Amino acid sequence: MGVDLLKSVARFHSLFPGSPEPSIWRAPGRVNLIGEHTDYNLGLVLPIAIEFSCFVLTAPRPDAVLRVYSAQFGEFVKWRIADIPSLAAQGAWSDRVAGVAWELLRSGIAIGGMNLMVDSEVPLGAGLSSSAALGVALTMAMGGVSADAAPALARAAEVNFVGVPCGIMDQFVSAHGKAGAGILLDCRNLDWRPVPLPSGLGIVAANSMVKHDLASSGYAVRVAECAAAAHELGVPSLRDARLDQIDRLPPLLRKRARHVITENQRVQLFAQAAAHGDLETIGRVATESHRSLRDDYEVSCPEIDFLVDAACAVPGVLGARITGGGFGGCTVNFVQPDALSALSHTLRSRYSQFNGIEPEIYLCVPSPGASQVPASQLTVNS
C-alpha cells in the first residue's frame, strides 16, 4: 500500500496533456482510539491521524469546467462549474467531489476551472475515514481554505450533499492530527488538545474485510435514536444526559443513551491513563468500549467480535475494540511492542480459519494532519 507521488504526477500529466504542473494536497485517514458514536451527540472523542493519506492533485484549466479522475476507480467525471449548484447526489464515488464543490460555492467560496486527480492510500470501507480524508483534501485543494476552516466545510458537504449525518470528528482529526499524539476533541465547542501517547503503546488496526448492508442505514438509525432519547430526556443532546436519568427511557433508547454517556466517561479515563502511561487502564477501557458498542449500541458484528476476542487472548495485547461507524470495518488493538508480531500472526491465522478471509493488518502511527505537499518533497510514500 502507498502512493508514489512522482508516479502520480506523471500519471496526472498523461491524463491531462498540456496541463500545468499540479499542486498536491494530502489529508490523512484516522483511527479512533476511544469515543465512538459520541461525536454527533456533541460529546468527547480521542482519535489519531494515521500515515495513510488521500492525495489530491490539481492544476487550473482555461475553461470553467471541473474535470476529475479517480486513480482508485479508474474513472473520469466532469461538470461545468455553473451546473454544480444544481447537482444532486448519485450514489457514486464522485458525490464527494461534487459535494465539496457544491458546498464551497454555497458558502461563497469561488472555484475556477481545474483538472483534478484523486489518489489515495487510505483503505476504502475499512472504517479508517477514507471519505473524510478525501473531503478535507478536496476542500483545501479546490477552495484554498485553511486547515482550520476545512473540517466544517468538508463535514457540511458530507451531511448536506452526500446525505451522511456524521459528526465532525473524522474531518477534524484529518486536518489537525499531531505526530505522536491523539486529539482530545469536544465536539460541542471544538475545544481540543493533543494527548501524547505512551511510548510503549502499539496501535494496530485489523481490517475484517467485511461491510454489512446495515453500515449506512444503521448509522442514520442510531443518529435518530439518540435524538429521540435526548428529546425524551429534555436535554439538547445526549452529551447533557446523566445515567441516573435514563431509567425513564424505553429499553432500546435506554441502551443507546447508556452507551453515549459511559463512552464519554471512557474518553476521559483513556486520556488520563495516557497522561500517566497507564497501559493497563488504556486496554481495559478500550475493551469496555467494545462491549458497550456490541451490547448497548449494537453496531458490531460476528466478524468484528471474533477479531476482538482473538486479539484479547494474545499475551501482550492490552485491549481491543471496534472502531468507526460499525457493522464491519476495523478493530483497533492496543498492544505492547514485543507482542506485535504475535498479534498479527494470530489474527491472520485464526480469522482465516473462522471465515476464509485474511484480514489486513495496519500498524498505526499517530501522524500530522492535512497540508500542501511541497514540490521538493515528492518522494515515495509507503
DSSP 84: G
DSSP 39: G
**Is 170 marked active-site?**
yes
- The cell for 363 is 500498524
The Cα-based distances of 149 to 144, 153, 177, 256, 323 in angstroms read 10, 7, 14, 32, 26
* Strand ranges, E, within the chain: 23-34, 44-60, 65-70, 75-80, 114-120, 181-186, 192-196, 202-211, 317-323, 328-335, 360-363, 371-373
145 phi/psi in degrees, rounded to 5 = -90, 165
DSSP 3-state percent helix, strand, coil across the chain (nearest 5): 45, 25, 30
Of all helices (H) and strands (E), which one includes residue 292? Answer: helix 279-295
Question: Of 95, 170, 191, 295, which one is the catalytic site residue?
Answer: 170
Catalytic residues: 170
